[in-house]
Chains A and B, each alone.
Chain A
Amino acid sequence: MKAHIRHIAHKRKGIVTESEKTVAKQSIEIGRATDQDIFLADSGVSYHHARINLLPDGTVSVSSVSRLGFYIEGKLVQNCLIQRNGEILIGVFNIKIEIDAKKDLVDITVEKIAEDIVEVAKERMLPTSLEQTWLSKRSTSWIGFILILVLFLGFPLAEFYDSNAKQVIAEFRLPGDDLWLSGEISSPHRHFGNDCNQCHQQPFVKVRDSACIDCHRKITVHADPDLYDLAELQQTRCATCHKEHNGTSHLIQTAQKLCSDCHGALLTDADSELTRITDFAIDHTEFKVSLMTRSGLSRNDPQAWQRISLDDPAIRHETGLVFPHDVHLDAGGVEGPLGNQVMACKDCHRTDASGNYMIPIAMEPHCQSCHRLEFDPDDLDRELPHSDLPNLRKMLNEYYSLKALRGGITDNDAPDLVTERRRPGKSLTRKEQEVALKWALEKAEFVAEEVVEFRSCNLCHKVERDPSVAAGWNIPEVNTAQSRWLPKGDFDHKSHRNSTCESCHEAGSSTRSEDVLLPKIAVCRECHGGQNSDRLLQSTCIECHDFHQQEQILMEVSHMGSQSNE
């Protein structure tokens, strides 16, 4: 083979020297020995290090003679084949081999690249710090950064904005906006809880009231928006109080701060009866009882009702009755049709089916078993109808007329015609009938007077004779049909059923029917403390009061919670 060998040496001060020679030999020898074709003066090279051969197919083979080998493309090898050109490294020398096939010539350029092998070894040194290894702060940072953004932001946003993406995410159960769930959804909302957009309808806009009212169509406002045109009421959103994603128990706020924020700051103004209230135990006015004080008005007319404080010494419940509780609750008992009877509250006062409220007291179910309306000593089973004064005389007249016509009445003052027993089939003459009916009319009048003024009605009612009215008497309207006395509160008897009646109602010492026997707040405070009480039952406003007032108008977006993005 023929080889053109060129030596390049870098001297000091940047001077480069070159020497060239052409050799024609079987193979080109490389080594540290002076007889080598390519002489490499470097202690890192063997005397006979390697050999270059041109093969018949036009390629060049380089093979190591010593066991040290050489480097090609950074790898330590013993042999290699060079197709057209290549570079090998032996010791500190870079040897560039170029094949010129046309001229059957191999160009070899030898260049010293370092002073000695140690420097080359240093260049080839393995990483000595983590920075030089595959570990990388930058790439892992980028990968982590992008992965997290794609997963936690990209997927949920795609689900929100793109219906196809939403479908794919649902189909393959990929993570979507469920990754954003900030806390446990309350159990009543959980059935649609996996669809965030039921409530979160617009991005970057707080949940609107319309989303709530879509389902809660019957919810009422807190106060009449025309009367109370307050920013706190108009602009408070549903979600201000009803915070989702805090589990079930916190969906309805019970903290009294929710109320006292406004009701604690209310200043009594001339138009408002609202008073400052911040805490049940220390800052709550005496209860106001709703009483029907104006007669002649319908029960449904708000004007008929008045709220009177239990503190008011003039408070009276005008029942229209003469009814002393103390007589009925006498420990020694009270005389009744069945003899002496010791009565208890429950003999008259019963709760309704809910157990929460008392059934209003009425004559027939509650009183009449004792206060029987009998009028004829000869017929004690016969009773007068209650509450039918205008027809009383007529009914008595009919009763006694029939009796008089039949005869056989035991009445010393009655004419014989009426008292004598008649044989069957014997009828009275017209004259006799007139006598009998006259007696019956007089008797009816007498009994009516007796029953109304002396024996039955007057026992419970304040009866006044008044010839100007058809009935002949005036009996004041009775007002006992009330079952809710504190309609603004939500007291129920059921949750207090383990307490005795007497522990709250001082009925045993009440001598007048006008007495209002509802317990004052002090009685409640024996058990109920404020929100922060440490020895009594902690009771906040919500314990007794509803925020959404049943009697108020339905909530609409325009009434509660503005649409604006506050």
Chain B
Amino acid sequence: MHQSVLSFRRSRYLWWCSTLCIAAIVAYWMHEPAMPPNGSTWLGYTLGTVGAVLILWLMWFGIRKRSYRSRMGTVHGWLSAHIYLGLGLITVVTLHTGFQFGWNLHSFTYVLMMLVIASGMVGVYCYLHFPRVMTEDSGESTADSLIRQIQEIDRQALILASEIDPETHDKVIKSIRRSAIGGNAWQLLFARGKTRRIEGLNLAPEQLIQDDPDNTDLRGSTMMFMAGNIASGHLDKSDATRRLSDLLIGQKTVLVKQLRRNLQIQAFMDIWLYFHVPLSFALLAALTAHIISVFFYW
């Protein structure tokens, strides 16, 4: 049975994290430095070292997850540890600061770390939440299988269209070109852009014309053309036209919509990593500068 990354091995790493945090808090509470708590007491150095080692280890996860041949634990286990020990950093490093903050490199490093952790927490949410949403939405269909289904419809539509007349054929080719899937990051995340044309097509074609005969957005679209043809009924090959209309309006629209949502969810699942990874490297740079600077001006 699939085990959630959070409850891996009976939440082994949750216990690790809790132990680490409690140990840090108890040490901080018992520690009575002669000066205000800060990073340069013995406890401050200890917590700082633990924090830095943890950060390096957490970043190593990026390498570990790519080394498929590694026998050093499972990636699943590593991820579980990555999440919990990453959360543990909040306690360890906050205590390392001794709650001294200012407009300097050191606090900047802290803020970067908190942003990395926050983006990671968003990642955990996405990791746990969106696969469920996607399953509820698309069942077993993956984006690839949906694309294949759409391409199959396109293929059939082209064959049908070439049976009707050259004009219909041209329209269908244009339609295939136009109903582009995907787009830039913005369009993927918000299912924006060319998607709108398709969204309006849940309505029956006849109704579209009635509702808004001058809709410039729809004017010239394949669907309008098809709708017009069907409504006027002047085409001889009305059976082929109806089948084409059913393919493009009925089946394809549904699939395209499903695919767009699938891609959108996939984008949601991916987008946090575009913050998490660059922020992590920014943190690595800031951490390096932080460590060098405090010993440079010891």
Contact = CB atoms under 8 A, between A and B. Distances in A.
Contacts of B176: 44, 117-118, 121
6 contacts: A46-B169, A130-B189, A148-B286, A149-B285, A152-B289, A180-B293
Contacts, number: 185
Nearest to A129: B266
B159 to A, nearest CB: 6
Instruction: Please classify how large the interface on chain A is, using the bins under 10, 10 to 19, 20 to 34, 35 or more.
Output: 35 or more
A180 B297 contact: yes
Nearest to B260: A128
Contacts of B189: 130
B105 interface: yes
A107 B220 CA distance: 37
Contacts of A178: 104
Nearest to B290: A152
B265 to A, nearest CB: 11
Interface string B270-293: 110110011111101110111011
Nearest to B271: A130
A153 interface: yes
Contact of A130 (B34, B267, B279): B267
A37 interface: no
Interface in A269-298: none
Given A144-B281, A179-B105, A200 B297 contact: yes
Given A118-B154, A121-B177, A255 B182 contact: no
Interface in B125-157: 143, 147, 151, 154-155
A253 B35 contact: yes
Nearest to A181: B104
Interface in A241-280: 241, 243, 245-247, 250, 253, 255, 257-258
Interface of B: 32, 34-36, 38-40, 100, 102, 104-106, 108, 143, 147, 151, 154-155, 158-159, 162, 166, 169-170, 173-174, 176-177, 180-185, 187-189, 263, 266-267, 270-271, 273-274, 277-282, 284-286, 288-290, 292-298
Given A117-B176, A130-B188, A44 B271 contact: no
B147 A128 contact: yes
A296 B292 CA distance: 65
A426 interface: no
Given A183-B38, A258-B34, A46 B181 contact: no
Contacts of A136: 274
Interface in A101-133: 116-119, 121-122, 124-133
A330 interface: no
Interface in A7-43: 43
Nearest to A258: B34
Contacts of B177: 76, 121, 124
A165 to B, nearest CB: 15
Given A118-B155, A156-B293, A182 B104 contact: yes
A43 B159 contact: yes
A207 B34 contact: no
Contacts of A144: 278-279, 281-282, 285
Nearest to B165: A47
Nearest to A183: B100
A61 interface: no
A245 B105 CA distance: 14
Nearest to B108: A152
A342 interface: no
Contact of B102 (A43, A119, A135, A181): A181
A559 B230 CA distance: 104
Nearest to A182: B106
Contacts of A128: 143, 147, 181-182, 188, 263
A56 B102 CA distance: 74
Nearest to A45: B173
A43 B164 CA distance: 12
A125 B182 contact: yes
A392 B271 CA distance: 108
A515 to B, nearest CB: 41
A236 interface: no
B277 A153 contact: no
A504 interface: no
Contacts of A200: 296-298
Contacts of B280: 141
Given A68-B174, A143-B278, A152-B285, 9 more contacts: A43-B158, A44-B173, A117-B173, A119-B151, A121-B154, A130-B274, A145-B284, A246-B35, A257-B32
